[in-house]
Structure formats: C-alpha cells, structure tokens
Amino acid sequence: MAQSAPVDSRPSHLKGLDYSVLQQCMHCGLCLPTCPTYDATKTERHSPRGRISLMRAIADDRLEVTRVFADEMYFCLGCLACMTACPAGVNYAELFEHARAEVEETRLLSSPRRNLIRLIAIRWLFMDLQRLELVGRLIRLYQELGLQGLLRRSGLLRLLPKRLQELEALTPKIQPRFTADLVGQVTPALGPRKYRVAFLSGCAQDLIFSDINRDTVEVLARNGCEVFTPHDQHCCGSLHAHNGEWELAKILARKQIDQFPPEEFDAIISNAGGCGSHLKHYEKILKDDLKYRDRARLWDRKLKDIHEWIAAIGLHPPHTGHPMTVTYHESCHLAHGQKIVQQPRDLLRMIPNLRLVELAESSWCCGSAGIYNLVQPEMADQLLHRKLGHIRSTGACTVASANPGCLLQLINGARKEGLALRVVHPVTMLAEAYRQEGCPG
C-alpha cells in the first residue's frame, strides 16, 4: 500500500488571518511612488502591492512559501509609508508581520550564521535587558579604555572582510550612565501635579541615548506630570514582532502590562517612534488571551508618544532659546505608524529663536528601519545618502528626529560623509531651552 505524503503541521500565519485584511488591497498602485524599494528597483514584487499579492496567493493555496518570498519579506523596510498613501486603509503592518512569521515557521532562510545571530540578539539579549545592559557596559569599557580607537588606528580592521569593517564602524557610542543612573523611579512634577504617567526607557535608547530619556522625564515634570520610571524594564517586543517571533512578542507584551498596570496611570509615555508604533497595538497581539485582552485594550488607549501627550495636555513654552536653524526628519513609524506628524514640528516651533526649515522627503525612510541597515546594507546606504543630500540642501546644522534608529543612522552617515551635523531628539531641544531659562519660579 502506498504511503500518503506527510501533512505539514506548521501553523500558517497568513492563512490564519482574517481574510478581509488580505482582500482590502484594490491594486490601485497609489502606494508605488511612496515605497523606497520599488522606487529604487521599479520591480513589482518589491512594492507593497506586489508583496500583498504574494501573501494572498499563499493564503489562497496558489503559491508555496518559497525562498524568493522569504527574501522579499526581508527586503521590505517595513516603513509603512504605503499605509499613509493607501486610500483603502490596508493594514500593511499586520500583513507584513504575519508574512515574516510565516517565513520563520518555514525556516527557509535558516543558516548557522543567521540562526546564531537570531538566537543571541532576539531570543537572548532582548528577552532580558539586564543581559543587554551587560553587553553595553562591556562595549563602554572597550571605548573608554581607548581600545576601540587603538584598533581603528592600527589598521588591523583592514584585514577583516569588508562587511565586518562596515559593522564595526556602526558600533554606537555607549552613554557613560544609563537611564536608571540619571532618573529616579519616581520624579515629582515641578509645581502642582496634574497627571501621573509612566515612562518607557527602551532598549537601545537606554544604552545609546539615555540622555534623551532624562530630557523626556524633565520635560514631563515641567509640564505637571509625576513620572514613574521603574528600573529593570523589558523590551517592548517590536524587534520580535517585526522579525517573525510572534510568540516572544506576546510574552513581552504581557510583561509590559504587568510592570505598568494601565489602570494606574493617566498615560504611558514612549519617546521612540518605532517602539511606540508597536506598543499601541497590544490588543491585537493579545486578542486571544482572555486574561490580558481587556487590559491590553486599555493599555493601547493609554500609550502616548511624548509629542502627542505634550500637545494634548498643553505645552508650557520656554521663554528663551539659542538661535539655531533646524530641520526635521520624520521617523517612519512615528509618521506612518502612529500618524504623528504635526506635533513634533509644533514643539520645535515653540522654542524661541529656533527656525525650522522643512526637509524635502521628510517622511522618506533613512534606511535604519530597525536592523535593516545591518541586514540590507546596500539599500540602506542608498537611502541614507539620499536623506543626507536633502539635509544638506536645507542649510541646517541641526536635524531633529524622534527614533533611536534614525538618530544613530544619521549620526553614522554624517560622520562617514564628513558632514558637520548635530543630530538630536526634539524633546532634548525643548529640555535645553528649559534649562537655559532656569528653574520655574
């Protein structure tokens, strides 16, 4: 008797989706001019419309998940510019994450090197931020002892493969003190307390831009907020969701809700555009979890980007500020994921003596896109060069942006191209203006 073929028991993330989500795309093509990868290649499958067609073919059993499909899902930046352009309201973010989860289930991209990187980064470092902090301390020691500079001057790096040389050049400067050293667990409001908020200090943000976290807490306190900033926080899970690790993203969402009970705060504040976009969708992630579903819905309502929150409660404007010309690069997930476009500009314009010059293609991706600049360096470099060209044309010596990945990408790009450019978070500029005028009387 002939044996039947084995049945593939792997779960299908695309087939498990509400089919109406896949049907929303009308194939009108309005997304095409907004997609950086389509703009660069003019290839249909490198567009949102093309990728959705592939996803739908898999959900309809007309196409198997192949290596070509897998590579395509990781060639996508996930910048979500297509969602801003789409007249039908297609939820590309949800499709994109489930498509990548589908790829990871098939293990088509599996290799010893890739598996090791994912194990160390996604499953080990970012599941326990104490481990990430330890790595940050080791890198900081390596930098403070002068070993990094010595290695770079020695010429030994030229003996390494080109890609390793490029990765070493991207090593970020680790802050001398992390958020827990700069900010107390409870920061009282300066003046009458109007709100009680929680603040999320982040992962890379904590190691590389802890000064931005300090500035954020100061700005909140200046505007009537008592700020709860617990030490030993958890990753928000965006890295995991964006890279197909759906179950790990659920675990981290539950940990966040447990650490920051949403019913206890007027708002839960994020100052990182990419993290905030993910953090506002815990209800979607935990929709099948009866224990957490209702609290996740409340969490989503309480989660606010810092610019969004300050605009909602009414900013106490500073009275002075240094003369400067500034341009603003929009974080993709802040602009397209959270639809927060005007509030950062309004914040900057409220700083005295600051002249804001609009940036051409301000919401066009800079190439950071999470870890995209690490795994797709050629496309990332093209986008970065394009972005820096537009920044040059403004004549501004300062560029503001509200996401750690964007900040780091622009800092590294400016250094590589010899561009004298200060790269800063809008909230830092506001905090500096407050400090210039002194404590409120």
pLDDT tens column, 254-271: 999 999 999 999 999 999
Q: Are residues 339 and 360 in the same domain?
A: yes
Q: Are 81 and 34 in contact (CB under 8 A)?
A: yes
d(CA 271, CA 84): 21
Q: Provide the β-strand partners of residue 20.
A: none
Q: Are residues 183 and 295 in the same domain?
A: yes
Name the least confident of 55-59, 168-172, 248-252: 168-172
Q: Are residues 152 and 102 in the same domain?
A: no
In a domain, 10, yes or no: no
Q: Are 405 and 368 in contact (CB under 8 A)?
A: yes
Is the Cα torsion angle 238, 99, 36, 372 positive or negative in sign? positive
- When pLDDT is cut at 50, 70 and 90, the band that residue 352 belongs to is very high
C-alpha 387: how far from chain center: 18
In a domain, 347, yes or no: yes
In a domain, 152, yes or no: yes
Q: Which residues contact 65 (CB under 8 A, 6 or more apart)?
A: 58, 102, 103, 106, 108
- When pLDDT is cut at 50, 70 and 90, the band that residue 155 belongs to is confident
pLDDT of res. 163:
76
- When pLDDT is cut at 50, 70 and 90, the band that residue 6 belongs to is very low
Q: Are residues 249 and 268 in the same domain?
A: yes
**Does pLDDT of 273 surpass 80?**
yes
Name the least confident of 355-359, 374-378, 425-429: 374-378
d(CA 38, CA 185): 46
**Residue 111 three-state SS:** coil
Name the least confident of 156-165, 181-190, 408-417: 156-165
pLDDT of res. 332:
96
- CATH number for the domain harbouring residue 423: 3.40.50
Of 64, 86, 106, the position where a domain reaches its end is 106
pLDDT of res. 413:
95
pLDDT of res. 1:
41
**Does pLDDT of 152 surpass 50?**
yes
pLDDT of res. 11:
64
Q: Are residues 192 and 288 in the same domain?
A: yes
Q: Are residues 300 and 335 in the same domain?
A: no
**Does pLDDT of 172 surpass 60?**
yes
pLDDT of res. 118:
87
Domain residues for the domain of 27 are: 19-106
In a domain, 211, yes or no: yes
**Does pLDDT of 165 surpass 90?**
no
Q: Provide the β-strand partners of residue 303.
A: 268
Q: What phi, psi does 358 have (nearest 5°)? A: -65, 145
**Does pLDDT of 5 surpass 50?**
no
pLDDT of res. 370:
83
Give residue-wise pLDDT tens across range 92-141. 999 999 999 999 989 999 888 888 888 888 899 999 999 999 999 999 99
**Residue 119 three-state SS:** helix
In a domain, 201, yes or no: yes
- When pLDDT is cut at 50, 70 and 90, the band that residue 158 belongs to is confident
**Does pLDDT of 4 surpass 60?**
no
Q: Are 284 and 213 in contact (CB under 8 A)?
A: no
Q: Are residues 307 and 184 in the same domain?
A: yes
pLDDT of res. 170:
82
Q: Mean pLDDT throughout 186-200?
A: 97
Q: Are residues 65 and 37 in the same domain?
A: yes
| Sequence-distant contacts of 42-47: CB under 8 A, at least 24 apart | 45/72, 46/72, 46/75
In a domain, 129, yes or no: yes
User: Considering only CA atoms, which of 330, 276, 291, 281 is closest in space to residue 81?
Assistant: 330
Of 126, 144, 169, the position where a domain reaches its end is 169
Half-sphere exposure of 359 (CA within 13 A, CB side): 28
H/E run at residue 408: helix 404-416
For residue 231, the one-letter residue type is H
Of 253, 278, 312, the position where a domain reaches its end is 312
What's the maximum distance between 2 C-alpha atoms anywhere in the chain?
90
Q: Are residues 328 and 422 in the same domain?
A: yes
pLDDT of res. 218:
98
**Does pLDDT of 441 surpass 50?**
no
Mean pLDDT score across all residues of the chain:
92
Report how many domains make up the chain: 4
d(CA 344, CA 401): 9
pLDDT of res. 401:
98
pLDDT of res. 3:
42
Q: Are residues 231 and 331 in the same domain?
A: no
Q: Are residues 75 and 126 in the same domain?
A: no
Six token digits for residue 6: 């084995």
In a domain, 48, yes or no: yes
Q: Mean pLDDT throughout 68-85?
A: 95
In a domain, 13, yes or no: no
Q: Are residues 184 and 293 in the same domain?
A: yes
d(CA 340, CA 427): 15
C-alpha 261: how far from chain center: 23
Half-sphere exposure of 59 (CA within 13 A, CB side): 20
pLDDT of res. 142:
93
pLDDT of res. 422:
97
pLDDT of res. 374:
83
pLDDT of res. 10:
58
Name the least confident of 314-318, 370-374, 393-397: 370-374
